[in-house]
């Protein structure tokens, strides 16, 4: 008997446990400290009312013989896939329902999609980045090449002619940097992927935060993407579904490698290993796409973006350089005086009782940077920024 020895190559994920430990120790030594957390990547506003009502109605249906639902289609109910397809038409993207696969969230699909690719593929991953891309490939034993995100490229790495890869991860708006690719930049990636027979895994989990109409929310807004890209999206940040769990993945039919349609492979994978998202949750997700759902989710997103704006305005005032904060719930600031990420973390914690996330935890290129999130309460954001002004003025 042999275990998957690739697991021994995973780095222990110390980031959030180290943060929690440091905060708890500080709190124990300073019980009166009023600690403000701007480090969390989870939403804090409750579910939109329309979603709750839709799920209440669906729950009631489940208790009545005539409307009870057992196993559903593994790839999601038609009503939700149709609603997702309709949402894409806002950006002039035409998808058919059978190109959309409903799942329990983007994280699962980002990991599971690797089932359809050979372990011999080389993977190109930005640094810094959402750690799931790295860890899922380490588990499978794939060769990983990193591409540098840094101040020079605005944390938006671009294709390099001499770097060859089969699978490319792009995340826009980006976690942790908040950077967003424009259409010309994504076009370069799409052309590169088509030229090299590579597949782009495009993580659009934060698309709902894009308010600038000139920026692409979907990679399929780019010509040529249907032959080279899979898109992952989520209701988590868009509609507060982090605990409710729903997302979707788009695999266009024209995406063919070695003569095989990846759409067919993914359908086979999902029907074999997945039994679908609960009917009740899918009805809740469907409500997001109604007129009232749009209004209510938009209110929440605008609330978070308002927080981001307050943080960005404070950093502007203090002359602290940052990325993101617009079209994104993340603000990626450069630690003043060339401080290291963890030193900056300690300073904020002990001097002004504000908690964020050290950039170094997202990759080597994150050293010297720091992530603040806009998911907190307005009151706390304002208070934290007053403390920033006192400390850095
Ligand atoms: N992709 C990115 C970039 C994320 O930051 C997250 C969650 O924080 C996810 C995907 C996971 O989303 P979900 O809750 O749908 O699994």
Judge if 14 and 86 occupy the same domain: no
- Distance between Cα 240 and ligand 1 center (Å): 12
- Give residue 393's pLDDT: 85
Quick one: angle between helices 291-318 and 49-62, nearest 10?
A: 140
Phi-psi domain of 276 (left: phi exceeds 0; alpha: psi -120 through 50; beta: other): left
The answer to whether residues 37 and 355 touch, using CB atoms and an 8 Å cutoff, is: yes
How many domains does the chain divide into? 2
Residue 188 belongs to domain spanning: 51-290
pLDDT in tens, 206-215: 999 999 999 9
130 lines ligand 1 (CB under 6 A): yes
- Distance between Cα 247 and ligand 1 center (Å): 9
- Give residue 17's pLDDT: 87
Judge if 69 and 206 occupy the same domain: yes
Query: pLDDT-based confidence at 12, cuts 50/70/90?
Result: confident
The answer to whether residues 238 and 211 touch, using CB atoms and an 8 Å cutoff, is: no
Rounded mean pLDDT of 294-316? Answer: 98
Mean residue pLDDT of the chain comes to 97
Closest among 375, 45, 58, 109 to 247, alpha carbons compared: 109
Mutation probe of ligand 1 site: the residue of 42, 106, 304, 324 with most atoms within 8 A of C-beta: 106
Judge if 19 and 116 occupy the same domain: no
Judge if 204 and 59 occupy the same domain: yes
Of 238, 256, 290, the one marking the end of a domain is: 290
Judge if 219 and 332 occupy the same domain: no
Judge if 93 and 118 occupy the same domain: yes
- pLDDT(15) > 90: no
Judge if 213 and 341 occupy the same domain: no
Rounded mean pLDDT of 25-42? Answer: 94
Mutation probe of ligand 1 site: the residue of 47, 205, 332 with most atoms within 8 A of C-beta: 205
Closest among 63, 103, 78 to 241, alpha carbons compared: 103
Q: How many CA atoms lie within 13 A of 64 on its CB side?
A: 7
Sheet holding 143-148, edge to edge: 100-103, 247-250, 229-234, 199-203, 167-171, 122-127, 143-148
Judge if 75 and 41 occupy the same domain: no
- Give residue 125's pLDDT: 98
- CATH code of the domain in which 202 resides: 3.40.640.10
d(CA 222, CA 189): 10
d(CA 69, CA 58): 10
Total Cβ atoms within 10 A of residue 60: 11
- Distance between Cα 239 and ligand 1 center (Å): 13
pLDDT in tens, 156-172: 999 999 999 999 999 99
- Give residue 244's pLDDT: 98
- CATH code of the domain in which 36 resides: 3.90.1150.10
pLDDT in tens, 46-57: 999 999 999 999
Of 235, 264, 290, the one marking the end of a domain is: 290
Protein residue closest via CA to atom 12 of ligand 1 = 106
Judge if 170 and 253 occupy the same domain: yes
Judge if 71 and 205 occupy the same domain: yes
242 lines ligand 1 (CB under 6 A): yes
Of 263, 290, 317, the one marking the end of a domain is: 290
Judge if 375 and 348 occupy the same domain: yes
pLDDT in tens, 62-110: 999 999 999 999 999 999 999 999 999 999 999 999 999 999 999 999 9
- Distance between Cα 88 and ligand 1 center (Å): 20
Judge if 89 and 171 occupy the same domain: yes
- pLDDT(124) > 90: yes
């Amino acid at each position: 008997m042999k275990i998957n020895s690739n697991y021994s190559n995973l780095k222990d994920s110390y980031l959030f446990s180290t943060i929690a430990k440091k905060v708890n120790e500080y709190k124990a030594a300073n019980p009166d400290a009023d600690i403000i957390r701007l480090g969390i990547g989870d939403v804090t506003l409750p579910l939109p009312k329309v979603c709750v009502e839709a799920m209440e109605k669906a729950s009631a249906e489940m208790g009545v013989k005539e409307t009870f639902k057992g196993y559903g289609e593994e790839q999601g109910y038609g009503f939700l896939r149709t609603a997702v397809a309709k949402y894409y038409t806002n950006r002039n993207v035409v998808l058919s329902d059978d190109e959309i696969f409903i799942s329990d969230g983007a994280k699962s699909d980002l990991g599971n999609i690797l089932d359809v690719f050979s372990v011999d593929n080389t993977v190109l991953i930005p640094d810094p980045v959402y750690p799931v891309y790295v860890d899922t490939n380490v588990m499978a034993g794939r060769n990983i090449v990193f591409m540098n995100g840094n101040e020079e490229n605005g944390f938006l790495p671009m294709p390099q002619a001499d770097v060859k890869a089969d699978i490319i991860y792009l995340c826009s708006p980006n976690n942790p940097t908040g950077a967003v690719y424009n259409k010309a930049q994504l076009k370069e990636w799409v052309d590169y992927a088509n030229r090299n027979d590579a597949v782009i895994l495009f993580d659009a989990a934060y698309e709902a935060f894009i308010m600038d109409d000139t920026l692409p929310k979907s990679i399929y807004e780019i010509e040529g993407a249907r032959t080279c890209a899979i898109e992952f999206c989520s209701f988590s940040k868009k509609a507060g579904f982090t605990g409710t769990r729903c997302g979707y993945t788009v695999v266009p039919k024209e995406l063919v490698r070695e003569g095989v349609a990846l759409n067919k492979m993914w359908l086979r994978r999902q029907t074999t290993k997945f039994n679908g998202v609960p009917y009740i949750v899918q009805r809740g997700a469907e409500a997001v796409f109604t007129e009232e759902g749009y209004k209510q989710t938009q209110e929440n997103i605008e609330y978070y973006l308002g927080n981001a704006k307050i943080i960005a305005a404070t950093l502007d005032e203090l002359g602290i350089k940052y990325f993101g904060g617009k079209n994104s719930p993340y603000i990626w600031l450069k630690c003043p005086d060339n401080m290291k990420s963890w030193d900056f973390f300690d300073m904020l914690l002990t001097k002004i009782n504000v908690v964020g996330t050290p950039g170094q935890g997202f990759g080597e290129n994150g050293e010297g940077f720091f992530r603040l999130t806009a998911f907190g309460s307005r009151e706390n954001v304002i208070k934290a920024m007053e403390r920033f002004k006192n400390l850095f003025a």
